[in-house]
Amino acid sequence: MKNLKTIAFALVMALGTTIGATAQDKKINTSKSKIEWVGKKVTGQHSGKISFKDGVLKFSNGKLVGGNFTVDMRSITVTDLKAGEGKEKLEGHLKADDFFGVQEYATSTLVFTSVKAKGRDTYAVKANLTIKGITEPVSFNLTVLKNSATTMFEIDRTKYGIEYSSGSFFDGLGDKMIYDDFELTVKLQY
């Protein structure tokens, strides 16, 4: 009976070691990873960047199985305008309460809830995105290569309480209307 317990213990330890060896968390390099955004309005568009605070992709047996990220909303910048052309004003407005309210909501988070392989290097990801304390589901395709991952998807800002100049909430905006969806292009390095 003692030998049986010893063998069972050895098997559990061996399996635990094998399982542990196949699971791997890969932290992103926050200085090399980037998020680029594009917001559109009737009369044109603006673009910019936001920085990651931290993030990790989770792998098992070389396949993506999860991930979670924190974004520093105070880092939002505008890249299509130069200083003196309204850059500072727009950045201030994006950080203000009627947009992202970064004084109260300094970070946003994305937590994967489901990952399914679509092809050799592509995964269909479902995740919970939290902006301004409001969590909503999002989905996107993520392409994963050796030390990088990329995706591009749209977010409806009004789902997160960002209704400023939205034609869905206000009438008579004319050419001051800002479209509800904004685009994110994400490039991760790990």
DSSP labels for 29-85? -TTT-EEEEEEEETTEEEEEEEEEEEEEEEEETTEEEEEEEEEEEEEEEESSS-TTT
Does residue 19 form part of some domain? no
Q: What is the pLDDT of residue 13?
A: 52
Q: How does DSSP assign 151-164, residue by residue?
A: EEEEEEGGGGT--T
Answer yes or no: is 1 within a domain. Answer: no
Q: Kindly report the pTM of this predicted structure.
A: 0.86
DSSP code string of 116-163: EE-SSSEEEEEEEEEETTEEEEEEEEEEE-SSEEEEEEEEEGGGGT--
In a domain, 16, yes or no: no
Provide the token pair at 157.
Answer: 């800002």
Longest dimension (CA), the chain: 83
The CATH number of residue 131's host domain is 2.40.128.110
Tell me the residue range of the domain where 86 lies: 24-189
Q: How many domains does the chain have?
A: 1
pLDDT computed for residue 104 by the predictor: 98
Spatial distance between the Cα atoms of 130 and 110, rounded to a whole number of angstroms: 6
**What are 172's two structure tokens?**
């008579």
| 52 CB-near residues (< 8 Å, 6+ apart) | 28, 30, 33, 34, 35, 69, 70, 71, 72
Q: What is the CA radius of gyration of the chain?
A: 21
- Residue 108, Ramachandran bin (φ over 0: left; ψ between -120 and 50: alpha; else beta): beta
Q: Is residue 10 part of a domain?
A: no
Structure tokens at 97: 């309460």
7, part of any domain: no
Q: What is the pLDDT along the chain (190 residues), one digit of tens a residue?
A: 555 444 445 444 554 444 444 789 999 999 999 999 999 999 999 999 999 999 999 999 999 999 999 999 999 999 999 998 999 999 999 999 999 999 999 999 999 999 999 988 999 999 999 999 999 999 999 999 999 999 999 999 999 999 999 989 988 888 889 999 999 999 999 9
Torsional sign, CA 68, 73, 74, 77? positive
**Residue 4 falls within a domain, yes or no?**
no
Q: Is residue 178 situated within a structural domain?
A: yes
Strand-pair partners of 58: 25, 66
